[in-house]
Chain A
Amino acid sequence: MLPRSMYKEIELVVGPENVSDDISIKYAYRSPYVTVVLPGSTEEVQAVVKICNKYKVPFKAQSTGWSFYPPEYDFVLLDLRRMDRIIEIDEKNMYAVCEPGVIAAELQAELFKRGLTCNIKGAGSNCTALALSGHGHMGITTSTGDRNDLATEWVTDEGEIIRLGSLSSSGEWFCGDGPGPSLRAIIRSGGVITKQATKVYHWPGPTYYDLKGSSPQYILLEKPANFMVRYFSFPSIEKMLEAELKIGESEIAFELMGFCPSMVSSNITTSNEEDFTTLQELLKEVQGPGFMVIIAGNYPEDFEYKKKVLEQIIKETSGKSLKIVEDPKVETTLLIQCTRISASIRETFRAGGAFASMMVQGQRYDLHVRWLEEAAEMKRELIRKGLVIADEGYQFGWAEENAHLGHTEIFCRYNPYDEASLKAVQEWVRKVAERALEGCFALPRPGILPVEMVGPRMSNYHLWFEKIKEAFDPNYIGGLTGFSYVGVDSASDHTSLYKRKGPAP
């Protein structure tokens, strides 16, 4: 419970209708310790953060708040939903400026009208449009995560407003770096991003999808010109990666999304029962791991060339096209859902209510793939024991930036209310994380292993991070922004790499 005087001060800033610590609010925000504040502007965010500093009460900010690991002490949650403006779209210079409450679907809808699109996080276009939302299916074309940041307006954990790049110099949004070193380095370490410019990209598709039908099966009667969607399976993961790299290097794909067959079947079906039946059919046809490719031509000759190259690469790597995806109805379903990113929930939560994921971004070939092949083997063991929902047991991933980088992931779907299932999944996650360190594969996602175990293996970044936090958050009250993780619930220190000094307030 916040001190009453603090609550009153917050009320004066945002209005009584925009702050609450009622029990029903706490339940909806999944924490008995939370007081939720709905600021409507940067100035309100700043004022509330300063109040938190005054009273030394921790705070966290959220945009849509999907995954959230609340701390176990009283804190203020800044729900940024009211800050939902698209401030500017500059078509000539290919950027858009948004507040955190704008979701990616909204931004993309506006961009489509201008022949543009944006990166959308793999979890879905129901997430924030801010670049910080992360890595998504279209990454081979639309880059990823923080690499799409431009100028940013940022309220620090102390309540200072820092404007990055050209915003500090001339009030413009086109560049987020400088003068001198770039503070884009630290904006995910804490504070609150209140406005941000993000890179956007050329979109050769329609200004909107003219969908017919009704939920949950919307269809495009006519596929847009110069578009093709295919799913290819390969006899081995090595062949698949070879094809993926070639496609990346030849720059022919608009999207390369390394779905497992189970994700394809989840994506195109409208119920769990249909999903599991369809999966069995797909598994009969696929020869091994695979990916979905979207080819988008800027004009017919461009399209024809790209298709020709694709055909050649698939031939060279013994790929096989999945027949069901050649059906125009399924093809266009995947096109819509994998550009608007609107069906990830089907792939993850629908089957059992939860999923636990291990994911990593960076050098996919062959570093992360090798690591998660081990994870896949462990997952298949869990499937055999009936502890996680059965699928083909593959990892998946996708190429980013012409396959220079990539996203690699594996998840287990399970029922979080089944004790055995939950325990098995938590154990799996821990083992996979340990292998990441042991095998020198990657930094496992935070919170699974103690930071004192991970940090020293990673140039002691945790110690440097602690110093940055101390400098920008001297009262130790800021939460961690940046990439959030769905899946296995974790201890409260998941929210921050930085461990609080001393007892909780």
Chain B
Amino acid sequence: MAIEDYEGDMKMCCRCSACKYIPLQMIRHSKFSDVCPSIARYNFHAYSGGGKLLIGREMLAKGFEYTDRFLHIVFNCLLCGACDVSCKYAMDMEVLLPISELRMKCVENGNTHPTFEKVINLLRSKGKMVEGEGKRSEWAEGLNIKDVRREKVEVYYHAGCLSSYNKEYHHIPRTVAKMLKEAGVNFGIAYEGEICCGGRAHEMGYREDFFNQAMKNVEIVKRSGARVIVTSCAHCYHAFKVLYDRYGFKEFEVLHITELLEKLIKEGRIKIRNSLALNVTYHDPCYLGRLGEAWIHFKGKKLPGIKFVFDPPKTYRRGAHGVYNPPREVLRMIPGLKIYEMERKKEYAWCCGAGGGVSESNPDFALWTAERRLEEAMETGATVIVTACPWCEQMLKKAVASRGVDLQVWDVVEVVERTI
């Protein structure tokens, strides 16, 4: 894979600006029409999905020039995929993939962001992408969870770096573990053997490092005997489900915890005992939603001629088949709880600001993005924002603190925990 592989897609961009907005017929309010945080913040067309495609195709033709502005454009992209979805409403072309390749090209040529270098060094030395003292599996103390290094399980639970190393988010994997136990799921964790999935390394543009993590993770899961990976982090979900498959590492079924919870609750293996009178809104994590759609291995080719058609017909990932309903179903099954949807949701949800490594490289921009999302959440009248990714939760909580508003941010599992 290289940016050259997407030359045709980059040339297809007709500069229509659809990539900047949610699908046009979904716009109900002028305040919530934007879908691309990068151009919403920086305004030059270059920051939009289409802008980056134009830059990519010109640089491919004329040579790459790694100016400060160019790198600012490349690294202030959340790689959230919203532009990809909006463009593909009308067009048959890839948008996010060439944008991602553009970043990789920069990194491969020694032009990375200084904060990324720090993070990647941490990954290489310690197998994690989040700072934090203490053991990776500290969250699991006292829970008596099976150790996959010693025994076989059916389900491998991967907590992820943020939930493991940031004590503020320990409650997520702890709650997941308790629920899975109660439901009688035969699961385990790798304790100190768990390593980063590599997903955020891929986002940052470090493909080789991602490969390294992938190969190691595949081994861990294989040795555990599990056929299913479950995670409560959207970035990890995307890594395992999409990236591993894309690069030929797919060997397992991958579920997000919300998908499993939906099943377990419906089967009665987790019982909702209490009602919860709450008005909530749900924030779709990008990497669980539009980017969580399964990878499509296309082996056809463009037919000769002037039409852009393929044989066999090419199926594009357009964000339709991400994980949208399971978290909502889980919430709907809670008596007394009402969901008030934000205007930008599902495949055209506004990003929380954490994607693409931006929460590390440009925390101000990440916070700005999260604050925009917070404004939207507040319009619903909900008192709680529910999400399904610790990175989203972290960003939204930062926005709440920054704005000083009285709004809670919970993970889906936290909501369920209050009812069981």
Contacts and interface: CB of A to CB of B under 8 A. Distances in A.
Direct contact of A and B (CB under 8 A): yes
Interface of A: 17-18, 20, 22-25, 27-30, 36, 38, 64-68, 79, 81-82, 86, 102-103, 105-110, 112, 123-126, 208-209, 211, 214-218, 270-274, 276, 336-337, 340-343, 345-346, 348-354, 386-389, 414-415, 417-418, 421, 486
B9 to A, nearest CB: 10
B44 A20 contact: yes
Contacts of B43: 18, 38, 79, 81-82
A349 B91 contact: yes
12 contacts: A28-B51, A29-B45, A106-B27, A110-B30, A215-B318, A215-B320, A216-B318, A217-B320, A273-B314, A352-B307, A352-B308, A417-B11
A102 B44 contact: no
Given A18-B43, A102-B30, A351-B308, A215 B88 contact: yes
Interface residues of B, number: 58
Given A214-B319, A417-B11, A28 B45 contact: yes
The 10 closest A-B pairs by CB, nearest first: A28-B46, A22-B69, A273-B313, A27-B58, A106-B30, A345-B90, A24-B70, A342-B24, A415-B306, A214-B320
Contacts of A272: 92, 307-309
Interface stretch (B13-21, B126-134, B328-336, B399-407): B13-21
Contacts of B337: none
B77 interface: no
A421 B67 contact: no
B305 interface: yes
B23 interface: yes
Nearest to A98: B30
Given A86-B30, A103-B33, A211-B25, A271 B73 contact: no
B70 A109 contact: no
B219 interface: no
Given A22-B69, A215-B318, 18 more contacts: A23-B65, A28-B45, A28-B55, A30-B15, A102-B30, A103-B33, A108-B27, A211-B26, A214-B319, A215-B86, A216-B88, A273-B314, A340-B25, A342-B24, A342-B25, A342-B89, A345-B16, A352-B308
Contact of A218 (B26, B29, B58): B26
A332 to B, nearest CB: 11
Interface string B347-377: 1100000000000000000000000000000
B310 interface: yes
A404 B324 CA distance: 49
A331 to B, nearest CB: 15
Interface in B312-326: 313-314, 316, 318-320, 324
Contacts of A105: 21, 24-25, 27, 33
Nearest to B67: A22
B381 to A, nearest CB: 17
Nearest to A415: B306
Nearest to A36: B44
Nearest to B63: A23
Contacts of B67: 22-24
B306 A350 contact: no
Nearest to B39: A81
Contacts of A342: 23-25, 89-90
B90 A343 contact: yes
A421 B30 CA distance: 40
Contact of B313 (A108, A217, A271, A343): A271
B69 A125 contact: no
A340 B24 contact: yes
B70 to A, nearest CB: 4
Nearest to A214: B320
B33 A66 contact: no
Nearest to A209: B25
B283 interface: no
B92 to A, nearest CB: 5
Contact of B14 (A112, A208, A349): A349
Contacts of B305: 386
B69 A336 contact: no
B24 A126 contact: yes
A237 B45 CA distance: 42
A271 B23 contact: no
A347 to B, nearest CB: 9
A22 to B, nearest CB: 4
A363 to B, nearest CB: 30
Chain B CB within 10 Å — which of A36, A342, A343 has the most? Answer: A342
Contact of B310 (A217, A273, A337, A346): A273
B24 A124 contact: yes
B309 A109 contact: no
Contacts of B73: 24
A336 B11 CA distance: 29
Contact of B70 (A22, A38, A274, A414): A22
Chain B CB within 10 Å — which of A28, A82, A102 has the most? Answer: A28
B307 A351 contact: yes
A25 B69 contact: yes
A28 B319 CA distance: 26
A353 B44 contact: no
A388 B306 CA distance: 7
A28 to B, nearest CB: 4
